[in-house]
Amino acid sequence: MSTTDQPDSRPDDAATGIRTEPAPEAVTGEKPGRVWRFVQRRSSTGLVLGWLALLVSFAPSLLPRPWWVQAVASALSATTGYAVGAVLGSLVAVVGAWLGVHVTIVDQAHRARLHLVLGLLALVITVVLWFAGYRGRRHSARLVGLHAPSLGSDVLSLLAAVVLTTLILGVVWAVREAFRASRFVLGFALPRPLAGILALCLVAGAGTWLSTSVLAAQGLNALSASAREINDQPPDGLHAPTSPLISGGPGSTQRWSDLGREGEIYTAETTTAAQITAITGKNAMQPIRVYAAPTSGDVDPAQLVQTIVTELNRTGALNRAYINLVGTTGSGWVDEYNVRSLEVLTGGDVATAAVQYSFLPSVAQFLTNRALPAEVGRELVQRVQQLIAQRPVDKRPRLLLSGESLGALSTEAAFGNADQLLGSVYGALWSGTPNSTPLWRSITASRQAGSPQVAPVIDNGAHIRFAGEPIQLQRDVYGRPLGSWTTPRVVFLQHPSDPIVWWDPSLIYSEPPWIQEHAGFDVDRNLHWYPLVTFWLTTVDLISANSAPGGHGHRYRAEQVDGWAGVLGMSVGSIEKARIVASVEALPD
C-alpha cells in the first residue's frame, strides 16, 4: 500500500471517495466486464450504506409486514441509505483532494486478501443481521396475534426489494444524466457555473411538474373517482330508518340516500330500545343518531354543522342526558363499537352526531388536506356548545366527544390545551389519535416523570387517562394504582403497536421515547431505532395498521366498552360487555 500527495484525476474518485484499487485493465490488461464497470461508476460508500440499510429494514417494527410491504420498506431504506452514502462519499473525496491524500493498493496479492476479508465480513454481517431480524419479527407477530413470516416470504421480499431499489435508483441516475446533458448543452452559450445553475433549475422544475402535476395529480384523481364511486354505492341489506329520531328517517333534513355510504350504514344500524333492553335487562329509550353529508364536491363546514344543529333540534336531542359528538374518518366512517357501547351504557338516553367532510380514505385526506377535518370538528364542537349554553342550567345535556384516528384529530381540534378541554366537556373517548394532533401532543408532553409515552400518567389520573388495555384505566403500565378519578373524565385509547399513533417525521433523525422506554405490552422490547430506516418501517406499518386483531395495531374494539364505562363513572360486567361486543360483531360487514 502506498500513499501519495498527488490525487488521481480519474472521475471515479468523485463517486467513491477513496479508491482501494486501480482499474482492472491497468493491472491485468483485461477489459472489465459490464457489471464491474457499472459497480465502479457507483458510490462505494453509497453501496455499503444501502446494503446495511437493506439488511436493517428486515428488523422488527410495530407490526408484521406482508412480503410486498416488506419489499417496499426495504427498497425505500436501501435507496435512502445509498443516497446518504453517496453524499458522504463525495464529501470525503472533496476533503481528500483538498488535503492531497490518495490511497491505492498496488500489490495484487494484498488486494486479493483484502477482498477476501471484506467478503467474509460482509457475509457474516448479512447472516447475523438477517437472522436477528427474522427472529425478532416472528416474536413481534406472536405479540399481536398474527402469523409469523416464513423463510419463503423473506426471500420473495428480498428479491422484490432488489428489483424495486434498482428501479428507484435508475430514475435517480436518469435525472442526474439529464442534468449533466442539460449543463453540457447550455455550456455552449453560457459560462459553466451559470449553465449548471440553469440546468439544475430546468431538471428540478421538470421533475416537480412531472411528479405533482402528472403522477400525483392523476393518482389522486383516480383515487377520488374510486372513493366517490364507493361513497355512492348503497350498503347491501340495509334500509332507510323508519324512526324520526334518526337522520334519513321521516322528517329528516337530508334524504337517507344523500348521506353517503358510511352515513347510511351509521344511521341504519342505530341500536333500538329493544336491543338495549335485551342486553341490559332494563327498560331503554330509542337512541338518537344524526348525520350530515356534503351534497356536492365543495365542503362548507358551517353549512354541514348547521345541518347537524337543525337535526339536533328536530329530534329533541337536547332533551337527552348526553350528546356525543363523534369525529368521522376521511370516508365518513363512524366506529359502531364507539356509538353502540355508549348507547347501551346510557340506556339509550343519548344523541350522537357525526359529520362527513370527505369521501377519501383517511391517509389520502391526511396527506392532501388535514386542516379540513380539524376545521369541521372545531366548528361542530363550538356550535353545539353554544346550543347547549342557551338552555337552562338544569336542563343541559352533558357533552361528550369521541372519534378514532382522523376522527379523533377532528374533535380534539376544538381545544388548545387540557384546561380548555376539561372546562368545556363532561367527558371524551378518543382512540388511535394521530401523532400530529396538537392537543394529544401537549397532554402527552405534560406526563409525570417515570410514566412512558405509550401510557402517560397525567396528574395521577385525576381527569385524563391513557390506556392500551382496559386495566390501564385503573393502574399504570407498571401496575401501580392511579389516584381518584373525578369528572370530567377523558380517555385516550392507544395501542403500543399502533403506527397511526407513533408515526412522525422526526423518526428520520431522532429516537422517540416510545422506543427508548420499551414499555409497550404488544411491542418487542428489543425494538431498536435506526436513522432513516425506522421512519420507513413505521411508514409502511401504516398499511398494515388495521390487519391486527382487536386490541392491537389500529383496531380498537371491545376496549371501547371499558373506555366509555370509565368516562361515565360506571362499571360494566363481563356478561354485559360480551353482549355489547357480540351485538356489534353480528352486524353486516
| 230-253: average pLDDT | 92
Same structural domain, 440 and 414:
yes
Residues 44 and 155 in one domain: yes
Structural domain span for residue 429:
232-495+556-585
* 5 — pLDDT class (breaks 50, 70, 90): very low
CB distance 231 to 261 below 8 Å: yes
How confident is the model over 547-555, as a mean pLDDT?
Answer: 93
Of 226, 246, 271, the last residue of a domain is: 226
Residues 236, 324, single domain; the answer is: yes
Claim to verify: residue 421 and residue 289 sit in the same structural domain = yes
Distance in angstroms (rounded) separating the CA atoms of residues 157 and 68: 6
Same domain, 90 and 134: yes
Tally of domains in the chain? 2
Q: Does the residue 532 lie in any domain?
A: no
Please state which of the ranges 357-366, 418-427, 501-510 shows the lowest mean pLDDT.
Answer: 357-366
Residue 138 within any structural domain of the chain: yes
Statement to judge: residues 212 and 269 lie in one domain: no
Q: Give just the sign of the alpha carbon dihedral 474, 476, 482, 485.
A: negative
What does pTM read for this prediction? 0.86
- Whether 69 and 538 have beta carbons less than 8 Å apart is answered as no
Q: What is the mean pLDDT of residues 91-119?
A: 78
Per-residue pLDDT reduced to its tens digit, 556-577: 999 999 999 999 999 999 999 9
Q: Which of 425, 423, 441 is nearest to 433 (CA)?
A: 441
Please check whether residues 118 and 84 belong to one and the same domain. Answer: yes
Q: Give the C-alpha distances (Å, rounded to integers) separating 112 from 16, 20, 107, 116.
A: 19, 11, 9, 6
Are 60 and 146 a contacting pair, CB within 8 Å? no
C-alpha dihedral sign at 282, 283, 285, 286 = positive
Domain boundary among the residues 200, 226, 252 is at: 226
Cα separation, 54 vs 48, whole angstroms: 10
79 in the same domain as 198: yes
Which residues face 489 on adjacent strands?
A: 427
3-class secondary structure, 370: coil
> Is the pLDDT score of 430 beyond 80?
yes
Pairwise CA distance, residues 573 & 581, whole Å: 12
Q: 541 in a domain, yes or no?
A: no
Residues 95 and 166 reside in one and the same domain: yes
What is the per-residue pLDDT across 480-522, written as a single tens digit (0 to 9) for each? 999 999 999 999 999 999 999 999 999 999 999 999 998 889 9
Instruction: Determine phi and psi for 307, rounding to 5 degrees.
Output: -60, -40
The model's pLDDT over 211-234, given as tens digits with 9 standing for 90+, comes to 666 666 677 777 777 777 888 888
